[in-house]
Amino acid sequence: MGCTVSNNNPSAHISPSVAEPSERRNEFHVNYRLGAVLGKGTFAQVRLARDAESRQVAVKIISGWVPGETRPGNRPPNKKVCSDVDMEVKCWKLIGKHNHCVELYEDHEDSMFFYLVMERCDASLLEVLKTTSTLTERKLGLYVRDMLSGLKHLHHVGVVHRDVKPDNCLCQGDENRVKLADFGLSALSSTELKGVYGTPPFMSPEMLQKVPYDSKTDTWSLGVLAYVLFYGRFPYWSPEKTIKAMKEAIRTGTATPNYHVFKNVGENVKPSSRVRTFVQKCLRRTPDERVTAAEALTSLQPVIDADERDMPSLHHMLYGALKVGAFDALRQNTDGQIDAALDALQQKVWGGPMDLAMTRPKRTNLHRDRDRDNKDKQFPPFSVSASSETAASSRTPRLRCSESTPSMTMTMSDTDALSIRSVN
């Protein structure tokens, strides 16, 4: 980006910017036609876009100003926003192209926005899980393996994600390959990492204890993700359904994981000891005793190698995960100022506002089994009523946090899947 790095070649190395920002103004809108929104947050929105060759991509559009600041204008963007975007781009370019990470194609900026052009995925993890016909522990294990493969690569290139959760896992292709997404809170492992970042139920104890941490904070988050998918509940919880209480339970280790399944499922429907052993290794409270992403892949292998034919369906665990709020209910930002500004920028180039008729192609094969040789046992696609998915009274608050950004007051149901950040 113009703040620190500037390079539109996704395969090239990061280098300091040699071009003034003015030389790159409006490049994005000349090259891309914006389409329907995929998600909105306080600081950013993700939209579909089409390039000159009609290739469909996704674009993360980040406002250059924090909420409450006057925009637009000719003055420079907020320095903190600029620094955050700089770090996101730097980390993303280090990650490069990998089977289990969403790829960054280009980055642009103008006097109002930053634009991160990325690979468009086919579906969210939730969409795939809800329509997977054989949601056994082995099938879930295959999805978790993809996530761990992505994490292993991140850590290998020196990046710590800091916000591993189900909503930051997208799926691509006929095999529903899982890819890690959203590197907005990522950091370089070569620096001392401090501060509270991410989404409370997935934060590690060392992060909440406000001591330095490393890439194993991601392994913990992945362990929480696996726990909630396999058991239908969070490993740490509090009777008080508040962000503060949840973070305190994780920080102090109270209400420790009991590895009991979501209520009303029945004891005969539960993950095996293989799953428990894997999750326990990821959730060691002491980082030195916790597995790395590479070691976790090895620990998961017995789950992958198991015979799936007699495994029960774990679809009810997905219901439990939805019930406790493991997946965010996407909140659409009502601030129309950004949309109006984007419409005006598109109007100058394309002679009309954003093309909201441009939508993501409908997938007809989300339920396709990933293993061609394991068709003996089939389960009906899972369905959940809308009221179950949005029952705020039973959900754990989901506020994405960054201690270095302005504080925000949120209600329990006021959640955001993109970039809400807060400070205690």
The segment(s) of the chain belonging to CATH 1.10.510.10 are: 123-324
pLDDT band (50, 70, 90) for residue 415: very low
What is the DSSP annotation of 230-266? HHSS-SS--SS-SHHHHHHHHHHT-S----PPPTTS-
Of residues 410 and 28, which shows the higher confidence score? Answer: 28
Residue 26 CB neighbour total at 10 angstroms? 13
Give every CB contact of residue 121 below 8 A, 6+ residues apart in sequence: 58, 102, 170, 171, 172, 179, 181
d(CA 39, CA 41): 7
Cβ distance 128 to 20 under 8 Å? Answer: no
Residue 358 CB neighbour total at 10 angstroms? 15
Instruction: Answer yes or no: is pLDDT of 411 > 50.
Output: no
Q: pLDDT tens across 265-295, in order? A: 655 678 999 999 999 999 999 999 999 999 9
- Compute the average pLDDT of residues 41-65: 89
pLDDT band (50, 70, 90) for residue 263: confident
In 52-186, where do the E strands start and end? 56-63, 104-109, 113-118, 123-124, 159-160, 169-172, 177-180
- What are the Cα distances from residue 282, in Å, to 130, 277, 318, 330? 25, 9, 20, 28
pLDDT band (50, 70, 90) for residue 360: confident
pLDDT band (50, 70, 90) for residue 97: very high
Cβ distance 8 to 18 under 8 Å? Answer: no
Task: Name the residue with tokens 């976790």.
Answer: 296
Element (H, E) at 318: helix 315-324
Q: Output the pLDDT for position 418.
A: 31
d(CA 108, CA 237): 41
Tokens read off for 146: 């993809």
pLDDT band (50, 70, 90) for residue 322: very high
- What are the Cα distances from residue 97, in Å, to 10, 104, 105, 180, 255? 8, 8, 9, 12, 40
Q: Output the pLDDT for position 66.
A: 55
Closest Cα to residue 176, out of 231, 222, 151, 139?
A: 139
Element (H, E) at 293: helix 293-305
pLDDT band (50, 70, 90) for residue 337: confident
Give every CB contact of residue 1 below 8 A, 6+ residues apart in sequence: 17, 82, 85, 86, 89, 107, 109, 114
Sheet containing 123-124: order of strands: 123-124, 169-172, 177-180
- In CATH, what is the architecture of 123-324? Orthogonal Bundle (1.10)
pLDDT band (50, 70, 90) for residue 134: confident
Tokens read off for 269: 């429907």
Give the range with max mean pLDDT: 25-29, 82-86, 143-147, 417-421.
143-147
Q: Output the pLDDT for position 380.
A: 40
pLDDT band (50, 70, 90) for residue 364: low
Q: Output the pLDDT for position 153.
A: 98
Tokens read off for 33: 């036609």
Instruction: Answer yes or no: is pLDDT of 17 > 80.
Output: no
Q: Output the pLDDT for position 363.
A: 60
Give every CB contact of residue 317 below 8 A, 6+ residues apart in sequence: 229, 230, 231, 232, 261, 262, 265
Residue 375 CB neighbour total at 10 angstroms? 10
Task: Name the residue with tokens 């394991």.
Answer: 374
d(CA 397, CA 420): 12
Q: Output the pLDDT for position 332.
A: 52
Q: Output the pLDDT for position 255.
A: 81
Instruction: Answer yes or no: is pLDDT of 416 > 50.
Output: no
Of residues 286 and 399, which shows the higher confidence score? Answer: 286
Instruction: Answer yes or no: is pLDDT of 228 > 70.
Output: yes
d(CA 29, CA 233): 44
Tokens read off for 50: 């089409």
241 assigned ligand-binding residue: no
Closest Cα to residue 42, out of 393, 406, 389, 423?
A: 406
Instruction: Answer yes or no: is pLDDT of 381 > 50.
Output: no
Q: pLDDT tens across 175-200, in order? A: 899 999 999 999 999 999 999 999 99
Q: What is the pTM of this model?
A: 0.82
Closest Cα to residue 338, out of 106, 104, 37?
A: 37
Closest Cα to residue 28, out of 290, 310, 276, 342?
A: 342
Tokens read off for 398: 């989901």
Q: Output the pLDDT for position 375.
A: 40
Tokens read off for 333: 């930002």
Tokens read off for 53: 């060759």
Cβ distance 163 to 197 under 8 Å? Answer: yes
The residues pairing with 398 across neighbouring beta strands, listed in sequence order, are: none
Q: Output the pLDDT for position 402.
A: 58
Cis ω before 72 (30° cut-off from 0): yes
Q: At residue 2, what is the residue type?
A: G
The segment(s) of the chain belonging to CATH 3.30.200.20 are: 26-120+331-350
- Compute the average pLDDT of residues 374-395: 37
**26-120+331-350 falls under which CATH superfamily?**
Phosphorylase Kinase; domain 1 (3.30.200.20)
Give every CB contact of residue 9 below 8 A, 6+ residues apart in sequence: none
